[in-house]
Structure 1
Amino acid sequence: MEEQNLMRLQKYIALSGVASRRKAEEMIQEGRVKVNHQVIQTLGEKINIETDLVEVDETIIHVEQRKVYIMINKPVRFVSTASDQFNRPTVLDLVKNDFNERLYPVGRLDYDTEGLLLLTNDGDLTYKITHPKHVIKKVYVANVKGIPTRTKLDEFRKGLEIDDYITSPADIEVIKIIKGGCELKVTIHEGRNRQVRKMCEKIGHPVTKLKRVAIGDIVLDDLSGGNWRHLTNEEISYLKNI
């Protein structure tokens, strides 16, 4: 049973709107509460909020699922999936103690890529953002080896053939010269697997470090690595109206 699905019974009753937490404890002790048709009178009993059936005075109760929208600055060496077959740390490990709701990453970032990733339990919004028909710009800062010529930059902007497909037009600019190469700002409108890395490799300038800094108008700003914050009402409204 996954820890993030567990909740104390009295809290579940309180969140359902039936009674306060203290009153819920009294109800449990009075034998008025059943879990999976069995009377529970022990305080502190934990239930699975996804699978257990809770009744108060013979009436089934439910917790209204709270919609959660957060951004996280994913560090490298974390996978952006709910679980991993190789037991590598996932982005959900960074927030699992903060939410009762089951959250899911919106899209993905590579294991060795850091930066902005959205997490939510709103399936409709996830579908909207990740569906190919909804074109949303994604902005990255990439450290690469060498400095691309104007010709190479133009090739990148027009689209490149990688993995038997032609990428959509993209934006790219050199923003800083660094030791052994340069820092690029790259804006794409697709989300194919390792696309930025493959495009940079195609023009002869492999990526040494990659960070996503924006999804549409949602910007990472100064959120430090491994930390998260709730999206503002304005940011949520923007995503829903894309």
Structure 2
Amino acid sequence: MASRREIERMIGERRIAINGAVIETPATLIESLHGVTVDGKPVKAPAPARLFRFHKPAGLLTTERDPKGRPTIYDRLPKDLPRVMPVGRLDLNTEGLLLLTTDGELKRQLELPATGVPRTYRARAYGAVTQAQLEELIEGITIDGVRYGSIDANMERRTGANVWIELTLTEGKNREVRRVLEHLGLTVSRLIRTKYGPFELADLPAGAVDEVRQHDLVVFRKTLKSAPPRHGEGDQPKAGGGGPRQKPRGAVPPPPSPQARRRSSSPSRGGFKR
């Protein structure tokens, strides 16, 4: 029906009921959708989860609405897309792969550090750094009292005063990549997420969306570690999402070890690896 926050607003507006009794608080646990209505209409059972890939351009906020009126991803998404929720966030100036899903539980599984889904980024930064400094990030780092977990970072190439660095992490704290690189004395001028789990940005054009095949999504979900159960949450978000095109199709292998991932490659024109 809507996102968790929107459902909370609907409850405040007394639009949701169970067997005719208006729900008074979001802290309401239900065992099934039987008897649940919104504006007097029965709520249908959730459809199978869907996942989409979206190549988010820089300059869009990963939110549904912005009080300041700035453009959001929903201004750019196709109008015929089902209701979708973003998996994690990319900040205003970060571009690249943003997964979108119709299923709140899948969103949660993909986002939680406990499930260990790796995210890969490519950063163009200004300044001096060595491969040895980047390799120390594999042990994690604490910055201003905030602990960042293991990051597999590799220098790809240097062009003058700029360097391209590939980083893979599993936590995804707010602005994690930028803060870690800034701590090393670098200034990030471009940040691109190229991969989320087995789903790759590949050659998906900026602003484009495509859907992950249902078979690939089912195979991937079987590889996920179990997420800890929710405690006292009664929301049931239902939003649509997507995923990769050709590359992720077929069996999805587990993420490689940091050692196996170390390699050196040069970015193609535009900064994307083909």
Structure 2 vs 1, CA of residues 110 and 135 (structure 1 numbering), >3 Å: closer, same or farther? same
Residue equivalent to 2:183: 202
Map of 2:18 onto structure 1: none
Q: 1:132 aligns with which of 113, 116, 128?
A: 113
Q: What is the distance in 2 between the residues matched to 1:226 and 1:145?
A: 27
Selected match of 1:213 from 194, 200, 205: 194
Partner of residue 102 from structure 2, selected from 121, 124, 132: 121
1:71, 1:119 within 8 Å by CA — same for their partners in 2?
A: yes
Larger-Rg structure: 1
2:156 corresponds in structure 1 to 175
Number of residues of Structure 1 aligned to a counterpart in Structure 2 = 188
Kindly state the Cα deviation for residue 91 of structure 1 after the two structures are TM-superposed. 1.2
Greater mean deviation of Cα atoms: 74-83 or 191-200: 74-83
Output aligned runs, 1:1-242, within 5 Å.
51=38, 65=47, 67-99=49-81, 101-241=82-222, 242=224
SS of residue matched to 2:80? coil
Q: Among all aligned residue pairs of Structure 1 and Structure 2, give the percentage whose two residues are the same amino acid.
A: 30
Contact 1:160 1:202 in 2 (8 A): no
Change (3 A) 1:52 1:170: same
Show CA shifts across 1:148-194 (max 9, x none): 11332233232221241221121111112224211111111111000
Stretches of structure 2 lacking an aligned partner (at least 5 in a row)? 3-36, 225-274
Report the Cα distance in structure 1 between the residues aligned to 2:134 and 2:206, rounded to whole angstroms. Answer: 30
TM-score, normalised to structure 1, is 0.70
* Between 200-209 and 80-89, the greater mean CA deviation after superposition: 80-89
Equivalent position SS for 1:221: coil
What TM-score, normalized by structure 2, do the two folds share? Answer: 0.63
Q: Kindly tell me: are residues 183 and 64 of structure 1, through their superposed partners in 2, closer, same or farther at Cα, counting changes over 3 Å? A: closer
Q: What code does the residue aligned with 1:103 have? A: V
3-state SS, counterpart of residue 155 of structure 1: helix
SS at match of 1:128: helix
Query: How far apart are 1:127 and its partner, in Å?
Result: 1.3
8 Å CA contact 1:156–1:203 kept in 2: the answer is no
Residue 234 of structure 1 and its aligned partner are, at CA, apart by: 4.0
Shift of 1:68: 3.1
Q: Structure 2 counterpart of 1:128, which letter?
A: Q
Encode CA deviations 1:58-84: one digit per residue, 9 max, x unaligned: xx7959746432110101110111222
**Alignment partners' CA distance in 2, 1:132 and 1:125:** 14
Q: CA deviation at 1:235?
A: 3.3
- Does the residue aligned with 1:151 lie in a helix, a strand or coil? helix
- What secondary structure, in the 3-state scheme, does the structure 2 residue paired with 1:116 have? strand
Q: Does the C-alpha gap of structure 1 residues 124 and 238 become closer, same or farther in structure 2, counting only changes over 3 Å?
A: same
Letter aligned with residue 139 of structure 1 = T
What is the identity, as a one-letter code, of the residue corresponding to 2:54? I
Q: How far apart in 2 are the matches of 1:196 and 1:133?
A: 19
Which protein is richer in strand relative to its size?
1
Tell me if the contact between 1:145 and 1:207 (Cα under 8 Å) persists in the aligned partners: yes
- What is the aligned-residue RMSD (CA, Å)? 2.3
What's the CA shift string for 1:12-71, capped at 9, x where partnerless? xxxxxxxxxxxxxxxxxxxxxxxxxxxxxxxxxxxxxx95556xxxxx795974643211
Aligned AA for 1:169? S
Do 1:81 and 1:104's aligned partners in 2 also have CA atoms closer than 8 Å?
Answer: no
Cα displacement (A) at 1:238: 3.9
Distance (Å, rounded) in 2 between the aligned partners of 1:109 and 1:178: 26
Q: Give the corresponding residue for 2:258.
A: none
Contiguous gaps of at least 5 residues in structure 1: 3-49, 55-59
Q: What code does the residue aligned with 2:59 have?
A: R
**What is the CA distance between 1:131 and its match in structure 2?**
2.0
